């Protein structure tokens, strides 16, 4: 389906989000294809019952862990990567043997319609169903009993999903978000840091759950970092990013209005232009941002990057730990001790050192949040595990049935039982 309809997917992504074909490939179909290849390669070994040690007291017998499907899974997908984040969990759910109800996001209507048209052509409709619609349809779905609910989106709706799931004691995986910080240390390669931060922040016009949400920059490096980021913005998108074929758009008018208000939260270092008719907001960098300002209250989820200064690394760690645990944490530093200090003293869903968003690529790295940024993980084997029940099975032989386990429990039996244990 992906191989034969990649161009149609790029067209839908362009219609909904203004994504370039490269961003459609890199952020959507490439990741899906990788997940598929990895699952197909390893599925036989994932499915195979795993034998574990059987203690002497339980002999003669064999102990194994069987992987069995949970049953019927509800997958509620978001709008920012409307194809990748619909299909990646679907791969894991199908691999584990489940049936799936997929609810694409109505906020990305072209992608939702495309998935609703394609999936029944390629997958058994008895096993995979696509339900289009908005809040009423999602509400009706959440009233039903599922065996697992996988939700990707914001924390407000995540709480609604979890409350609905609790009525049926349904387990949930919540892939949420939060304000993912990016620390720029004093000892750092500023050119590389600026290039990678700008790329990660403004990819998909900042509408990425693991985009750097704000920068905590060592005070001695702020001016240089901002100047370097301004140069990179011109290299990437030209003097007028609005005319660049590689720069996306905000998903809708409501989000555009929300983001436009946040620009006033600091001093403009770059960008700031906005056009509601085109749902365009320029790649924007802010400085002199008050931590109590609106842009620092919630996840930005758009092309606005606040740069705050800190006197040292410990101040950055304290700042991060005073807030909800983020989905991702980024650190640019050439100091190995500083890197280890940040990784040991902070908690986040995932982390990257001297890069952003790259931890999404390796299939062996589980992807998920912690605390307010989510619960549960997926990608690669973690996806199979998420949608699987591990059933413990012991098979006992009957040719030997020692009486030590049966009453009456004499002092001699007790003595031998303790020795064997």
Is 216 in the same domain as 359? yes
Model confidence at 166, in pLDDT bands (50, 70, 90)? very high
List the single range of 324-333, 349-358, 381-390, 412-421 with lowest mean pLDDT. 412-421
Is 170 in the same domain as 191? no
List, for residues 243-291, the tens digit of each pLDDT value. 999 999 999 999 999 999 999 999 999 999 999 999 999 999 999 999 9
Establish if 167 belongs to a structural domain: yes
Is 170 in the same domain as 189? no
Is 99 in the same domain as 232? no
Establish if 156 belongs to a structural domain: yes
Is 51 in the same domain as 189? no
Model confidence at 11, in pLDDT bands (50, 70, 90)? very high
Residue burial 148-164, b: 16+ Cβ < 10 Å; e: rest: bbbbbbbbebbeebeeb
Are 381 and 142 contacting, i.e. CB atoms less than 8 angstroms apart? no
Half-sphere exposure of 202 (CA within 13 A, CB side): 30
pLDDT for the residue numbered 287: 98
List, for residues 103-160, the tens digit of each pLDDT value. 999 999 999 999 999 999 999 999 999 999 999 999 999 999 999 999 999 999 999 9
Are 66 and 393 contacting, i.e. CB atoms less than 8 angstroms apart? yes
Q: Is the pLDDT of residue 34 over 90?
A: yes
Helix, coil or strand: residue 415: helix
pLDDT for the residue numbered 56: 87
| N- to C-terminal Cα separation, the chain | 55
Q: Which domain holds residue 106?
A: 6-176+371-393
Establish if 403 belongs to a structural domain: no
- Mean local confidence (pLDDT), 32-55: 97
Q: Is the pLDDT of residue 405 over 90?
A: no
Establish if 235 belongs to a structural domain: yes
Q: How many domains does the chain divide into?
A: 2
Q: How far apart are CA 21 and CA 6, in angstroms?
A: 10
Is the pTM above the cut of 0.85?
A: yes
Establish if 418 belongs to a structural domain: no
Strand partners, 216: 183, 308
Q: Is the pLDDT of residue 319 over 90?
A: yes
Are 29 and 9 contacting, i.e. CB atoms less than 8 angstroms apart? yes
Model confidence at 224, in pLDDT bands (50, 70, 90)? very high
pLDDT for the residue numbered 388: 98
Half-sphere exposure of 290 (CA within 13 A, CB side): 6
Is 74 in the same domain as 137? yes
Q: Is the pLDDT of residue 72 over 90?
A: yes
Is 152 in the same domain as 186? no
Strand partners, 393: 64
- Residues acting as catalytic residues: 175, 209
Is 118 in the same domain as 197? no
- Mean local confidence (pLDDT), 221-245: 98
Is 96 in the same domain as 208? no
Model confidence at 96, in pLDDT bands (50, 70, 90)? very high
- Mean local confidence (pLDDT), 88-96: 98
pLDDT for the residue numbered 308: 98
pLDDT for the residue numbered 417: 86
Establish if 106 belongs to a structural domain: yes
Are 9 and 114 contacting, i.e. CB atoms less than 8 angstroms apart? yes
DSSP letter assigned to residue 71: S
150 phi and psi, to 5 degrees?
Answer: -115, 115
Is 274 in the same domain as 188? yes
Q: Is the pLDDT of residue 321 over 90?
A: yes
- Rounded percentage of the chain residues whose pLDDT exceeds 90: 96
Model confidence at 45, in pLDDT bands (50, 70, 90)? very high
List, for residues 361-371, the tens digit of each pLDDT value. 999 999 999 99
Are 373 and 327 contacting, i.e. CB atoms less than 8 angstroms apart? yes
Is 156 in the same domain as 189? no
Establish if 89 belongs to a structural domain: yes
CATH number at residue 28: 3.40.605.10
pLDDT for the residue numbered 335: 97
Looking at every residue in the chain, the average pLDDT score rounds to 97
Establish if 399 belongs to a structural domain: no
Q: Is the pLDDT of residue 82 over 90?
A: yes
Q: Is the pLDDT of residue 404 over 90?
A: no
CATH number at residue 238: 3.40.309.10
**Over the Cα atoms of the chain, what is R_g?**
25
Is 341 in the same domain as 377? no
- Mean local confidence (pLDDT), 369-382: 97
Nearest to 324 by CA among 185, 181, 153: 181
Nearest to 53 by CA among 394, 399, 407: 394
Q: Is the pLDDT of residue 163 over 90?
A: yes
- Mean local confidence (pLDDT), 339-362: 97
């Amino acid at each position: 389906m992906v191989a034969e309809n990649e161009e149609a997917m790029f067209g839908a992504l362009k219609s909904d989000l203004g994504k370039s074909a490269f961003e459609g490939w890199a952020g959507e179909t490439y990741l899906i294809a990788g997940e598929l290849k990895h699952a197909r390669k390893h599925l036989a070994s994932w499915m195979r019952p795993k034998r574990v040690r059987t203690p002497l007291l339980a002999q003669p017998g064999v102990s194994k862990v069987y992987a069995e499907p949970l049953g019927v899974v509800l997958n509620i997908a978001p709008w920012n990567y409307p194809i990748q984040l619909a299909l990646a969990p679907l791969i894991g759910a199908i691999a584990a043997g489940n049936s799936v109800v997929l609810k694409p996001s109505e906020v990305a209507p072209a992608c939702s319609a495309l998935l609703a048209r394609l999936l029944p052509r390629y997958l058994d409709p008895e096993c995979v169903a696509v339900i289009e619609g908005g809040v009423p349809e999602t509400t009706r779905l959440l009233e039903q009993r599922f065996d697992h609910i996988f939700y990707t989106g914001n924390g407000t709706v995540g709480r609604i999903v979890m409350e609905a799931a609790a009525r049926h004691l349904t387990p949930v995986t919540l892939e949420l978000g939060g304000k993912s910080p990016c620390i720029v240390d004093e000892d750092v390669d500023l050119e590389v840091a600026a290039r990678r931060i700008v790329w990660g922040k403004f990819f998909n016009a900042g509408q990425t759950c693991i985009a750097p949400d704000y920068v905590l920059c060592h005070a001695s490096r702020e001016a240089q970092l901002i100047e370097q980021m301004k140069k990179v913005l011109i290299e990437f998108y030209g003097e007028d990013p609005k005319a660049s074929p590689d720069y996306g758009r905000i998903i809708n008018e409501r989000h555009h209005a929300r983001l436009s208000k946040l620009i006033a939260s600091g001093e403009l270092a770059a960008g700031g232009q906005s056009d509601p008719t085109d749902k365009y907001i320029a790649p924007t960098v802010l400085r002199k941002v008050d931590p109590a300002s609106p842009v620092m209250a919630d996840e930005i989820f758009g092309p606005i990057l606040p740069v705050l200064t800190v006197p040292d690394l410990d101040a950055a760690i304290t700042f991060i730990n005073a807030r909800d645990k983020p989905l991702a944490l980024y650190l640019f530093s050439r100091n190995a001790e500083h890197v280890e200090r940040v990784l040991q003293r902070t908690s986040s869903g995932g982390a990257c050192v001297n890069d952003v968003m790259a931890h999404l690529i390796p299939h062996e790295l589980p992807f998920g949040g912690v605390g307010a940024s989510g619960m549960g993980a997926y990608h690669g084997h973690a996806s199979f595990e998420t949608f699987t029940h591990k059933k413990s099975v012991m098979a006992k032989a009957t040719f030997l049935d020692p009486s030590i386990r049966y009453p009456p429990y004499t002092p001699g039996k007790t003595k031998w039982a303790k020795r064997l244990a």
